[in-house]
Structure formats: C-alpha cells, structure tokens
Structure 1
Amino acid sequence: MKFQIAINMERLDPSLDMKTVRDHTLDMVKMAEQGGFEIVWAAEHHAMEMTIAPNPFQLLTWWAEHTTTIRLGTAVAVAPYWSPIRLAGEAAMTDLLSNGRLEFGIGSGAYQREFDRMHPGLKQSDAWRYMQEMLPAVKALWAGDYAHDGEFWQFPTATSVPKPVQAEMPIWVAARAPITFDYAVKNGYNIQSWPLTRPMSEAELYMSRLNEAVANNPGKKRPEIAMMRHTAVYERPEDRAVPLAAVRRQLGQFENYFKNLGDVENGFAKEIPLDSLENRAEYDADMLTENLMFGTPEQVIEKIKGYEAIGVDSFIYYASLGLGHKEQKRSLELFCERVIPAFA
C-alpha cells in the first residue's frame, strides 16, 4: 500500500485569516513528505471558500519550491473549464518548475453550481465528453505541433510551450461510472475514486468495475487505483466527537453546493441541517465513524488493510474536513508515525 494526501485551502466561515489557511496547507505538505507520502493532490474549484483552488497548478508550483521528493498532482483539473493549449502549457510549466514531479489528474467536475458560472449551459452529467476530447489533445500538444478540429474545441497548429520534463507524464482520471473505468483501462490511465461517505461496499463496487474493464480489454495493463477517504486519526475512540462534528458541518455545506440551492453568500454556503435531508442516513455518526478513515492508529491500520485486501494500490488521506488546524496536524502526525510504518 502506498500513501497519498489531498489537502485544500479551506474556510467554512470568515473567521480564519486567509494567510493562516495558506500557510497551514504548506505545513501539511511538508509533514506529508517527511512522513513518507508519495503524492500530494490539489483540487480545482471556483467561487467557493470550502475549497480555495482556482488554479491547482499555482498551488503545486508553490509547494514544489518548498519540497524535494513528494510528487505533485491535480485532483483534478476540470476539463470543461480549460482550453487544451492552456491546460497543456500550465501542466508542462509546473512539471518543469518542479523538476518532473507532476502527476496529471483530470476529470469532469463535480458541482452544477460551478458549471453554471464557469461553463453556462453545460450539465454536469455531460461533462465527461469534454474530458475525453481534452486529454488526447493535451497529450498531442505535449508531443509537438498539433491542430485540433473537435466537437468542443478547434484550433490551428499549435504546441505546448514549454514541454513537460517527464517523457511519460503520469495521468490519472477521476472515475466512478463504468464508462470512465473502461476509458482509463483502454488508454493506460491511472484511476482515482472517492466513495464519499458510503460503506466499504462502494469501494468494492469500484474495484469490480475496474476488474470488469480489465477483463473487457484483453492485453491492456491494469492501471493503478487510488481510493480517497476523509481521514482523522486520534488517540482514543472517544476522541471521535471533534472530527465527527467537523465533518458533519462540512458535509452540510457540501450538500448545499451539490444540490445547487443558491444559498451561498460571498463564497460561503449555508449549512443544511443534516436531519432535513432525504439522504440523512448517509450522515449518521456511527456510520461516518465506520465508513470514513476515522479511528485510533490501530483501527485505521485495520481499515486500510481492508482496502489493501481488495486490490487498492494507494490510499488517499483526505485531510480537509473542516477540522481545526491543530487537530489536522495531530491526525497527520499519528498517521505518519503509527499507521504508515505498519505497511512498510
């Protein structure tokens, strides 16, 4: 089992100073590198304080200046918000400035609220088509001169300037649907999956989709798959109350963005009472403790062994869950000192 981390600049209300939020992410990245994490991931989101990342390549380039070994990934660059030439060049520049440490993650996007602002008229459910046109164009631009006449983008001969340092850029796609697993296997792309707050059976479902895609594409290499979960490690089982309250608060805001309710002021979403949701069973405290990567170091080790047993290659520690900065750092310390060594 290998370990990766996703960390966001995150504010759930205006009380946190933005520079403090900024500096906290760098502290976490440095801790993750020292503790043995292989990759750190930065997201792309717009007009929301819950994930402050209008350009993930800016964050990765900044982190690259303060690290030496940890690899730097986009999770994910949202294809419909970019042009192929710009995305190819931004990614290649980050690869150059980081001395060849970029992991290129691309996806379709998550929130209809963002599409309404970044690509008006596009339904989130149709965005995968943009991703599947974008990725071959970006790869062709990295290779040299290329002209494109597609459904969504058209441009005369151009190329990526600069070119990536890496001869073979590692590529990751965000996947939950069978069509995306099949696309990844066909093209040799690694896979990121996020079971959200759903039980282990959801992770098993994703693995079955991967295995089916491999079976349906004879001769194709099985790609790597990384599975992400909200993570909080604490000393005693009774210490779960603090991260539980934090994640439930964040999920209340997540539901607002996800349902596109429009109840957002100055980038902050109003928290939806979880007991008012039709899917409120997904946020039960005991269920969250069981399904998320919450627990003492010993409990977390046993949970990760379950992912290892079903064939997951890397676990993504999702650090951003509304938890206080002090608690986030203590959780990561415990993970580095007492969880990762169990998989050495």
Structure 2
Amino acid sequence: MKFQLAVNMERIDDNLDMQDVARHTLEMVQIAEEGGFDIVWAAEHHALEMTIAPNPFQILTWWAAETSRIRLGTAVATAAYWHPINLAGEAAFTDLITGGRLEFGIGSGAYQREFDRMRPGLKQSDAWRYMQEMLPAVRELWKGDYEHNGEYWQFPTSTSVPKPLQKEVPVWVSARSPITYDYAMRERCHVNCWPFTRPFAEAELYKKQLDEAIEKADNGWVPRFALMRHSCVYDNAADGENAMRAIRRLLSQFENLFRNLGDVKDGFPASIPLDELEGREQYDPVMLEENLMFGSPDRIIEKLKRYQALGVNEYIYYASMGLDHASQQKSLRMFVNEVMPEFKEG
C-alpha cells in the first residue's frame, strides 16, 4: 500500500496567524516526504478560510521548492473555474519547474456557494459536464496544436506553452458516482474517492462501481485506486477527545456549506451548534471514531488492512480538520513511525 497526504492551509477562526499556518502546512509536507509518502495533494477553494487554496499550482510550486522527492498533486483543479488553455499551461508549467513531479487531479467542485461566486448560474450538480469536456481538451493541448469546439468552450488552434516535462502526466479523477467511474476508465485516469464520514460499506460501493467501470471500458486500463479519510493517530484518551472535538466542529462548518446557508463572515463559515446535531448519525462520536481513520496505531493498522483487502492500494491521509498544529504533527509522525512500516513491500 502506498500513502498520500492531503493537507490544507486552514483556519477555523482568526486566532491563528497566517504565517504560522503556512509554516505548519509546509512542515507537514516535509514530514510526509521524510516518512516515505508518495504524493501530497493541494486543493482548490475560494473565499473560505477552512481551505485556503485559491490556486493549487501555486501551492505545489511552493512545496516543490522545499522538497525533493514527493510527488505533487492537485485534488482537485475545479474544471468550471478554468479555461482549457489556462489550465493546460498552468499544469504544464508546474510539471516543468517541479522536475516532472505533477499528479494532475481534476474534478467537478464541492460547494454551491463557490459556484455562485466563481461561475454564477451553474449548479454544482451539473459541473461534472465541464470536467468531462475539459480533460480531453487539456490533454490535446499538451500534445500540440488543437482547435476546440465544445459545449462550454470554443477556441481556435492553440497549444499548451510550455509542455509538460513528463511524457504522460498522471491524471486523477475524484469519483463517487457510476458516471464518473465510467468516464475515468474511458479516459484512462486514476481514481481517488472520499466516503466522507460514511461507513465501510460506502468504500465497498465505490470499489464495486470501479470494478464495473473497468469491465465496461474493457480497454486494458488498470487504475490506481486511492481512498481518503480524515486521519488522526493517538495513544491516549485526552488526544482522542481533542481530535473528536476538532472533527465535530469542522463537520458542523461543512454542514453550513453543503446546505449553502450563506452564514459565512470574512471567509469563516459559522458552526451549526452541536446541540442541534445531537442524535444525527454523521456526528455521533462512536460512529466517527469507527468510520474515520482515528485511533491507536494498532487500530489504524487494522482499519487499513481491511481497506487493503477490499482493493484500495493507496491511502490518502487527510490531515486537515481544525486540529491544533502540534497535535497534527504528532499524529502524522506516529503514522509514519508506527503504522506505515506494517505496509512496506517485502
């Protein structure tokens, strides 16, 4: 099993200094590289302090200058917010200056709130159409001169300048629905998935959809299949309680965004009071500890082996959940030192 890190610059409130946030985020990336992680992922989000990522390629360029081996991915570039020529060029330039370390992740986007600002009038539920038109155009632009006459973009003959350093840039698609799995296999993409806080059965569903899409495509493509969970390793009850408080607070902010309540001030989504969430399965502490990658090193190993047996060959350690910086780094180091050795090949 290979391991990847997803980490954001994040602030739950304005008590944290942005320079401290940036320094901590870079340190997490460097811990991951030193520990043998394969890829680190940067997101794209706009006008939200909980995920400070207005341009994932700029973030990867920053990380590249402070690392040497770990591969650098976008998870994800939101297709509808870009023009194909712009996206192809930004990605290719990033691949060039990082020494060919780019992993190109593309997706549809998460929150209606962002679409209302970045692509007014577009429903989040329709954004997959932009992604499916975007990717083939970007790949053609990487090859050379290309004219595009699509539903969402039209442009005369153009090309990506520069071209990627890699002959074939690895492309990843974030998939949850059968239509996206089918598309990913037709287009020969790798797949990452995120079951949110749902139980193991959700991962089983994604694997079933992947297998069906592979069979349907019948093109010989064997993708890498990565699964992401919020992760926290701890060895005492106090640290476990601290992690649970952090994730429940973060999830209450996600609830605000997914409902598109509009209750966001200066980039900080309001938390829905936890007493309004009591009894709701997705916030139950027992359920969260069971479904997320929370627990002692031995418990984490047990959970990962279950995913490995399912056919998940890469695990994405999602570090960002509003936990204090010291606890985030302690958890990641425990994962490196006490969990990952169990999964080393040979």
Does 2:192 align with 1:192? yes
Match of 1:200, as an amino acid?
Answer: F
Deviations 1:194-229 (A, max 9, x none): 000000000011000001111222233221110000
Match of 2:41, as an amino acid?
Answer: W
Does 2:31 align with 1:31? yes
Specify the alignment match of 2:120 in structure 1: 120
Specify the alignment match of 1:253 in structure 2: 253
SS in 1 for 2:203: helix
Does 2:272 align with 1:263? no
Deviations 1:112-165 (A, max 9, x none): 000000000000000000000000000000000111111000111111111000
Q: Percent identity?
A: 64
SS in 2 for 1:197: coil
CA positional deviation for 1:110:
0.4
Specify the alignment match of 1:308 in structure 2: 308
Does 2:241 align with 1:241? yes
Specify the alignment match of 1:284 in structure 2: 284
SS in 2 for 1:90: helix
Residues 197 and 288, structure 2, Cα contact 8 Å, conserved in 1: yes
CA positional deviation for 1:257:
1.1
For residues 134 and 154 of structure 1, what CA distance do their matches in structure 2 show? 11
For residues 208 and 278 of structure 1, what CA distance do their matches in structure 2 show? 32
* Correspondence list, 1:116-265, <5 A: 116-237=116-237, 239-265=239-265
SS in 2 for 1:317: strand
Specify the alignment match of 2:100 in structure 1: 100
Deviations 1:19-74 (A, max 9, x none): 11011110000000000100000000000000000000000000000111100000
Residues 204 and 310, structure 2, Cα contact 8 Å, conserved in 1: yes
CA positional deviation for 1:274:
3.8
CA positional deviation for 1:280:
2.1
CA positional deviation for 1:278:
9.4
Match of 2:202, as an amino acid?
Answer: E
Deviations 1:218-277 (A, max 9, x none): 233221110000000011356310000000001111111111100000000110124425
Deviations 1:295-327 (A, max 9, x none): 111110000001100000100000001100000
SS in 2 for 1:271: coil
Deviations 1:147-199 (A, max 9, x none): 11110001111111110000000000010000000111111100010000000
For residues 170 and 47 of structure 2, what CA distance do their matches in structure 1 show? 29
Match of 1:300, as an amino acid?
Answer: I
For residues 191 and 274 of structure 2, what CA distance do their matches in structure 1 show? 31
For residues 324 and 167 of structure 1, what CA distance do their matches in structure 2 show? 41
Unpaired segments of 5 or more residues in structure 2?
none
For residues 260 and 218 of structure 1, what CA distance do their matches in structure 2 show? 40
Residues 278 and 284, structure 2, Cα contact 8 Å, conserved in 1: no
SS in 2 for 1:256: helix
| TM-score, scaled to structure 2 | 0.98
For residues 87 and 279 of structure 2, what CA distance do their matches in structure 1 show? 37
For residues 278 and 187 of structure 1, what CA distance do their matches in structure 2 show? 43
Specify the alignment match of 2:67 in structure 1: 67
Match of 2:43, as an amino acid?
Answer: A
Specify the alignment match of 1:328 in structure 2: 328
SS in 2 for 1:73: strand
Deviates more, 1:232-241 or 1:247-256: 232-241
Match of 1:249, as an amino acid?
Answer: R
SS in 2 for 1:11: coil
CA 1:306–1:131 in 2, change beyond 3 Å: closer, same or farther? same
Residues 185 and 220, structure 1, Cα contact 8 Å, conserved in 2: no
RMSD: 1.1
For residues 310 and 239 of structure 1, what CA distance do their matches in structure 2 show? 29
For residues 239 and 268 of structure 1, what CA distance do their matches in structure 2 show? 25
SS in 2 for 1:182: helix
CA 1:66–1:126 in 2, change beyond 3 Å: closer, same or farther? same
Match of 2:226, as an amino acid?
Answer: A
